Chain A
Amino acid sequence: EAGVAQSPRYKIIEKRQSVAFWCNPISGHATLYWYQQILGQGPKLLIQFQNNGVVDDSQLPKDRFSAERLKGVDSTLKIQPAKLEDSAVYLCASSLGDRDNEKLFFGSGTQLSVL
């Protein structure tokens, strides 16, 4: 079974530039999550999709972050413009999304450095 795929693996940009991350979840997984993990901290949920609808985006900085899930499968997360404090690992995860299968499968993440 293929895992959650993320790209790019690393990205270095200057502040005020824009950046996009891509995620391909496990086939058949209805729920997709984007987490932000700052060094030394736990993952913080940015946005959660159920199929192609947004379930929760309460902690997404909507003035600069946007995300979409195309046809309920792949997803992209965009930051525009980036700030220094956006330096973090961006993790994508997916799950089947039903009560009996709530464990998350994570990708390896995209490490973003904003200079």
Chain B
Amino acid sequence: SQQGEEDPQALSIQEGENATMNCSYKTSINNLQWYRQNSGRGLVHLILIRSNEREKHSGRLRVTLDTSKKSSSLLITASRAADTASYFCATSRMDSSYKLIFGSGTRLLVRP
């Protein structure tokens, strides 16, 4: 079963605009991660935020985590056409298995 659900399912924006994607999950987590997948390729890790962190930055990426609402958001600032991809959140359970469960993804299209 899938733990996380992303919203929106698809997003189309103009180059230079900001893109915000949301992720909701069901059970307590150890950490939450965001991955990017270009068409026909494997997933690439973007950022990891632990359950005791509220916000994290990496370049043009900003991730927030609200454990009380069981939700996270990924903000991509000043988007570029190369950011066009599917973005997935993944949650790691609070046990020793390091099992990572992925959501259904947001498909982002950045128009040049």
Q: Is B60 on the interface with A (CB-CB < 8 A)?
A: no
Q: Is A103 on the interface with B (CB-CB < 8 A)?
A: yes
Interface CB pairs A-B, < 8 A, 13: A35-B102, A42-B102, A42-B104, A55-B97, A55-B98, A55-B99, A91-B42, A91-B43, A99-B98, A104-B35, A106-B43, A106-B44, A108-B41
Question: B86 — nearest CB in chain A belongs to which residue?
Answer: A42
* Contacts of B88-111 to chain A: CB distance below 8 A: 88, 90, 92, 97-105
Binding site for B on A (CB under 8 A): 4, 31, 33, 35, 41-45, 48, 55-56, 91, 93, 95, 97, 99, 102-109, 111
A56 to B44, CA, bound (A): 23
Question: B33 — nearest CB in chain A belongs to which residue?
Answer: A103
A56 to B98, CA, bound (A): 10
